[in-house]
Amino acid sequence: MILEIVTPEMTLFKGEVESVSVPGRNGQFQMLDNHAPVVSLLGKGDVKIFGSVQLEESLASLFKKEDGTTNFTITGGVIEMKDNKAIVLAD
């Protein structure tokens, strides 16, 4: 699946991932390939990216790697999953 993480300032990440886990308002949830369409509000927490991730060198310091995941901390936002593409609009 394709994941895109966008802030008001710039696109932080766009690439192929195995899955993504996000901090929903009612708890963490995960999306895999071919997930049903969904739009959800996000709360404070980590967007966890599973799979081999290629980060731009200038943005790598914004992400942290642990336990086989690449994580990006957000304070809130929205996620849309449709047609095997997830877009995180992060605060």
pLDDT in tens, 29-45: 999 999 999 999 999 99
Residue 7: closest CA among 55, 59, 49, 54: 59
- Tens of pLDDT along 44-60? 999 999 988 888 888 88
**pLDDT confidence tier of residue 70, bands split at 50, 70 and 90:** very high
Residue 86: closest CA among 29, 44, 10: 29
pLDDT for residue 78 is more than 90: yes
pLDDT for residue 67 is more than 90: no
Q: What is the CATH number of the domain that holds 59?
A: 2.60.15.10
Residue 38: closest CA among 87, 89, 5: 87
3-state helix, strand and coil shares in percent for the chain, rounded to the nearest 5 = 5, 60, 35
Identify the domain containing residue 26 by its residue range: 2-90
Predicted TM-score of the model (pTM): 0.91
CB-based contact 79:40 (threshold 8 Å): yes
Number of domains in the chain: 1
